[in-house]
Structure 1
Amino acid sequence: MPQILYYLFVYIYILYIYVLYIYILCLVKLCIGMIDAGKAYNTANRQFVNGIQELAQTSAKDVVIETPYTKLTPEFIMARFQQSLSAHLRNGIAVRRDLRKFKEAKKQFDKVSEEKEAALSKNAQAPRNKQHEVEEATSILIATRKCFRHIVLDYVLQVRATVFMPVFQLDQLVMDSTKERKDMEMKHSTIQQKDFSNDDTKLEYNVDAENGIVMEGYLFKRASNAFKTWNRRWFSIQNNQLVYQKKFKDNPTVVVEDLRLCTVKHCEDIERRFCFEVVSPTKSCMMQADSEKLRQAWIKAVQNSIATAFRDKAEDAEMERKSSASSGSLDSGGEVKERSLKGESALQRVMAIGGNSSCCDCGQPEPCWASINLSITLCIQCSGIHRSLGVHFSKVRSLTLDSWEPELLKLMCELGNGVINNIYEARREELGARKPQPGDPRHEVEAYIKAKYVERRFVQRLSEDEIRQKVSALSKQDKPLSGCSDARPSGGPSASASSGDSGEDLEVFCEPKQLTPGLQLYWASFSRSMPDMAEALAHGAEVNWTNTDHDNRTPLIMAVHGGSLASCEFLLQNSASVNQQDNLGRGPLHHATLLGHTGQVCLFLKRGANQNAADVENQTPLSIAVKAANADIVTLLRLAKMNEEMRESEGLYSQSGDETYQDIFQDFSQMASNDPDKLNRY
């Protein structure tokens, strides 16, 4: 055994000597190479110096050229080479050290960025009804934001020191680095004093931005999938569109193609805080900001964008109209001029109503907007404020850009700014409230409009005796009060009922049991008194109020018996249900069919009335019309049925009907609104 160990030791020693010999050979070879390189360098250096000296000799007669060349001695060149080599070695060591610091700073930056995103998500998920979770999430978010800002400062300083400073300026780099470190220390101390409850990036709406982006920033967006997940996206408002990006280089995804068709509102009925919703005719997008300040900024930006989009569109339309008018004068057929007059007819008819020539809320002359459920005209600024109130308070439409249905145009000509202001501003002077003027700040106008329509602060409240007197007077009316041209059976309520309502009596209740604004709306709808209807709604009347003393009929059913198309349209625009039934199972469409009111049947069908509903006698509107031999109503009901079946067969995304269907209904609407006598042929 000892002999084996001895041989093993000898073998290892010999192997070691062999390896050492190999290393020595390599080292000798490197030394030879270094010597050869040195010789080559010395030769090249000598040739270079000789060349300089020869050049100096050829320029001996020129003192300006000779003096610098004579100073380039071999000793001078070697000294400069050694200095340069030493500087590069020091710079190389510094760069390696800075690169190591840069990697560490980047690692810390990435880590804190992830922590900040997690804190933002936790803060967004904190439910509004659990205050302790909200406070905890807010505290974590504030602390994370401060830490993030500190790390960002260090990271930026390290990036500048590593990347942007040239390595051959080491002395200048040291000086600049020292100065920047002092600046960063000042910023670090500022961070400690700053309030980070709102870490806002860009809060101002800039319509004149060079890149076309008037507002941008991070928001949480609720997905439209079944799970309703929330994702953080980069949103921006640009080119009158609302878009977002998942990543910086991704193509923008358009949420809303045209902001003119949208409205924006707060969302307080969900668990998450700071939410708001942008609603368009086809979809809605629920979003969440990081703070209340950010939410208000985004809502204001969307509202301003909507107003700007409308103004730009109106200006373009005006320029196009003027251009068309000038080119139309050269057209012998006059088609352009005719189209222009048709486009202005809605504006001309509405402006002819008393008080409509100036904005209802601020007095701005020549308003081009309207609130269709209030039947008032508005300027561009007030229309934007009305739009922000929500459609349950005001439905805004352009008098020049939008198309107007005959019933809606007829409604706009029934009330007007004067009538509505007499109702909604009855106590304004008594309370000492100042009415806005053109050019007043937007926030003052907005506060006034909210007080006027949302809080109804200036409406004159009615006592029970006053309601009793109004109800008694309205229920005894024997003729229309609003000057409508709609056809109506003469002879009071009982005569109205006898024209096809199976002999039902609309008995007048002089001593009603329910003295409410709803009862005022009920009888005002029958009497076709539009001002009284508007007044009842201003007093808080429920538009779908039912009269328990009168078969649970609604104001809309009474408007049918009153025979007024405009009254029906007014109630529908104020959210009346077109399918609410009375105790006999009859909705407004049943009553309109029984009474032979073709215009109202057409209106209800366009508003989505259910023509398949049957009353207690198992009668549908179609069976009633066939029994009464009313060809017009039978035609309308059958066309609507065919159109509905066509849409069902075409699938979920089919259009609302073919052109023939739309044209026939348009003709009936025009006739019912402008020449109702033609519908009384049968």
Structure 2
Amino acid sequence: MKMTVDFEECLKDSPRFRAALEEVEGDVTELELKLDKLVKLCIAMIDTGKAFCAANNQFMNGIRDLAQYSSKDVLVENSLMKFSETLQEMANYHTFFSANKLDIKKFKDAKKQFEKVSEEKENALVKNAQVQRNKQHEVEEATNILTATRKCFRHIALDYVLQMNVLQSKRRSEILKSMLSFMYAHLTFFHQGYDLFSELGPYMKDLGAQLDRLAVDAAKEKRDMEQKHSTIQQKDFSSDDTKLEYNVDAANGIVMEGYLFKRASNAFKTWNRRWFSIQNNQLVYQKKFKDNPTVVVEDLRLCTVKHCEDIERRFCFEVVSPTKSCMLQADSEKLRQAWIKAVQTSIATAYREKGDESEKQEKKCFPSAGSLEPGSECKEKLLKGESALQRVQCIAGNASCCDCGLADPRWASINLGITLCIECSGIHRSLGVHFSKVRSLTLDTWEPELLKLMCELGNDVINRIYEAKVEKMGVKKPQPSSQRQEKEAYIRAKYVERKFVARHLALVSLPEDGASAVPQHQEEKRHSSSERSPQTDKHVRSNDSGIQQSADDSREHLAATISANSLYEPEGEKQEASVLCSSKQLDPGLQLYRAAYKKNLPDMAEALAHGAEVNWVNIAENKSTPLIQAVLGGSLVTCEFLLQNGANVNHRDVKGRGPLHHATVLGHTGQVCLFLKRGANQHATDEEGKDPLSIAVEAANADIVTLLRLARMNEEMRESEGLYGQPGDEIYQDIFRDFSQMASNNPEKLNRFQQSDSQKS
């Protein structure tokens, strides 16, 4: 090691040594100043680097925020996220250089000690020189002090020189070590950045190509928009009326929307312009797009709309419900007429749709024989809130279209109880509602009774009836890929002409008026026997045994009649007649009649397929109809099925009692609710002069009394409203909805009056 200050010269304390000390001390002082300056610059650089990193992180957060905002544009989102991740990874490799200060503390301490002992040695030398020769005691003392001081000086001076030489040697390595560390940090940072961007290069190249295509597309879109802009500018705007049309089948559920002035209900009767819309069978408005819509009419079935010509403002009309009215003003007469028509059409649509809602939810709690699931599982699914589509499609055969076999059908025929694809549903609509009533499984709302009806039947059950002879006749059933004409011809043959239904010989021809198939002498015999029997004068609920006995007698007579009629039939039909005779096959009307009481929907569907009249009258049993039998059987879904297939809700038996009377007598609240909704005449009186309300009052059935009184009140309200009046206020609607749901899902709660009556008796 090269020595800056020689140790030998140190012992001599020569002028050369002192000069070397001054030179080294000055160099160390200057080095210290340089290092202090460098440390300050390093600190400033570190602070700037931290600010850069913070700004860089903020920039990357901004990129990520923009990427999340652009989530609808996959290209922009993916690109920005990829760039942000690369920049973040680069930032993770950013390290800061820290300039280390050279450790000169030992040097400074040694210098202080050296200066102190140098001064002491100088004082000792002066004192030793000044002592007088004759003062021996002082001479010895001065000599001893000088010797001790010199010894200490040499020791301290050697340490000082050592620290000086070490410092001079060490500063080279420390400075170079710090600089090398700094350079390596930069090398790592930039090398990592190079690697990251090299990996990102192909992606950036592909993105550049996509941007070129996007620029071309943007230029094309710009030209198209400019052309559209020019076309619109050329239109005639002389008429300022907004072109508004209503559409009850709109995909978004909004029948009509637009601006109207609404008169406030405050004392000042101020008019405010609001955005109105008809949606979900409601009339609503909002001030701003983000505001929650304010409901004007909760249910359009409970309101009416009419012109208003008795106020000063023009183009006004009023929407009136049982609890409130809303005065509205359009911008022109044309718009006023459009809004009035839209409201009236929506009211009619709401009645049609709501009449079919309550059927579905009930079906899965009472599955048919063709159902894949037991009743407990269905009730469980009902509680879980499955959609109408899920509930109906799990019935046997319903997972594919009933007519062409296309998977996942989304439409249904509610009077047939089958599921259909969209093309077949269109063909069914063209047949007319007397053959098929089509509803959407996803767009329309479904009532519990209608859901139960769908689950009682299903594609397998109906196809066993309507396609019984398809294979025998060699007819090819359409496939999903078949032409529409082929499907339409097959569907008409199947449901309108009923070509594929198994031959069902009518045992007795029906009179034109739809009366009973029982001959006159048999009818007279029944009347005489009924007159002799006191049972026929009892309550209608006592008819069960009489119904069965009468049906058995009719069956025996009808079977015997075949032989008498066989002379007028072809040979082939004679053979079939003998088979039917042996099996005692029922007339379709009588089959429908009996199946209605037994709650057997598949048998009822079969009877209708064989030509049974839905309003068939059994003269032998007080001119009762299948609908009355369904009431006596106590089944809500059976009543719904008959009504969907055209049953007359107001047909009355010989005692003047219709389905509503019988349901009231028996305390079947759900059926009463259903018949009232389907337009049953609540004022009709029986032979004793009693209407349903008086019967309910006598039976002390509070639920039915409430329903009948509400229905009567709303009927009077409708009559007072005039031509456009519609029955029902909010309370009326809520109560009927509650009873409908309870009748379908918790019928035992509505049997409490019957139970109390039976306990009393």
TM-score (norm 2): 0.41
- Between the two structures, name the one with larger relative contact order (CA 8 Å, sep ≥ 6): 2
Q: Which has the larger radius of gyration?
A: 2
Q: Normalising by structure 1, what TM-score?
A: 0.46
